[in-house]
A and B are shown apart, each in its own frame.
Chain A
Amino acid sequence: MGDRLAGKVAILAGGATGMGRTTALRFAQEGAKVMIADRNRAASDETLAMVRDITPDAEVVAVDVSKWGQVQNMVDATVERFGRVDVLVNLAAILMLTPPLIDVEERQWDLIMDTNLKGTFFCCKAAIPAMLKGGGGSIVNISSSAGLDAWTRSLPYNISKAGVIHLTSVISGQYTPQGIRVNCIVPGPVDTPQARGSSQSADLLAAVAAEHPMGRIGRPEEISNAILFLASDEASFVSGATYVVDGGARTSGRRS
């Protein structure tokens, strides 16, 4: 147990599984009060039970981040339960595989963009007023290496994650002067249900790991540690930054 987030109230949008779950646990270990916000209610409840083994200061709220009313309710429920919002982590995302551009369906584009980019926009839009009331805060947006590199298996996913990086920069420019730090993490391949699902085969995921310069893909808790730093006051002079956390994959030229 530590105190790096002692007393801080954190909303984890997409907090039920994968990096969201490990971040909820890591935050709780460091003294945060945690709101697990996700549309997967069963997994949210599982994560809640794990977090409550650490602290009683945890709750769940059902939210589809692509729906404004539900996002506003997520923030309202957090303020009602814990009194304030200090930290928002935007982890909610979907990765649907699509064919090359001319065969991408409008509905595929909409589903991905609505969750990954509009959802991040909605969560920031709803949380920032609550943070301002409390005198400031920290937002950590989760992008992907696909937001920097041309990964060809899902054009809408690439564009949505590139948008998250730029959204981070613009929001930082607008709200850092008011005490809200806004940063972005760009994870490389990480062992999450999403990664396993999008690999479409255990063999393919193993091949990605074998080609990585570290000989493995990332663990979700390794991303959570970076999120923790940016969320905490240790990053008090960090805003508008994009942190690549990929085990050196990009610099080795192995960007899968």
Chain B
Amino acid sequence: MNNLTEIAKRAVEDYGFRQIALWSPDDLVEQWGLSPREAGTLKGALRDELERLPVPVEPRDYAAVTDRLNSLISGCLG
């Protein structure tokens, strides 16, 4: 789960990284060695949330958005 939470954090703070997560997630699955369940979360529930984020997420909102995504990831991976 650590890899996926780190990916989520970077995607919140860096729009360029978010673009990779949204549109070329297989590159991240390979680079970060994600498990099939993590890959499914990245391409499913997490992707849906990332797509809804504003561009950019303002720094003052990083913690709240990241916490929300971490809760989502925990819920998906158990």
Report the Cα distance A133→B77, complex, angstroms.
53
- Judging by beta carbons under 8 Å apart, are A97 and B23 in contact? no
Distance (whole angstroms) from the CB of A46 to the closest CB of chain B: 14
Report the Cα distance A196→B55, complex, angstroms.
6
Number of A-B contacts (CB under 8 A): 56
Give the chain A neighbours of B17 by CB distance below 8 A.
96, 111
- Judging by beta carbons under 8 Å apart, are B16 and A40 in contact? no
Q: Contact flags (1/0) for B22-60 with A, using CB distance below 8 Å?
A: 111001000110000000000000000000000110110
- Judging by beta carbons under 8 Å apart, are A39 and B23 in contact? yes
Chain A residue nearest to B19 (CB atoms) is: A94
Give the chain B neighbours of A197 by CB distance below 8 A.
14-16, 18, 55-56
Report the Cα distance A94→B24, complex, angstroms.
12
Chain B residue nearest to A94 (CB atoms) is: B16
- Judging by beta carbons under 8 Å apart, are B20 and A94 in contact? yes
- A200: interface (CB < 8 Å): yes
Give the chain A neighbours of B23 by CB distance below 8 A.
39-40, 64
Chain A residue nearest to B62 (CB atoms) is: A200
- Judging by beta carbons under 8 Å apart, are A39 and B56 in contact? no
Give the chain A neighbours of B56 by CB distance below 8 A.
196-202
- Judging by beta carbons under 8 Å apart, are B55 and A201 in contact? no
Contact residues, A152-199 vs B (CB, 8 A): 193-194, 196-199
Report the Cα distance A197→B20, complex, angstroms.
13
In the A-B complex, the 10 residue pairs with the smallest Cβ-Cβ separation, listed nearest first, are A197-B15, A96-B16, A39-B23, A94-B16, A107-B31, A95-B16, A197-B55, A197-B56, A96-B17, A200-B56
> What are 28 A-B pairs at a CB distance below 8 A?
A39-B24, A40-B19, A64-B23, A66-B24, A94-B16, A94-B19, A95-B15, A96-B14, A96-B16, A96-B17, A97-B16, A112-B16, A114-B27, A193-B55, A194-B15, A194-B16, A196-B15, A196-B55, A196-B56, A197-B14, A197-B18, A198-B14, A199-B56, A200-B56, A200-B59, A201-B56, A201-B58, A202-B58
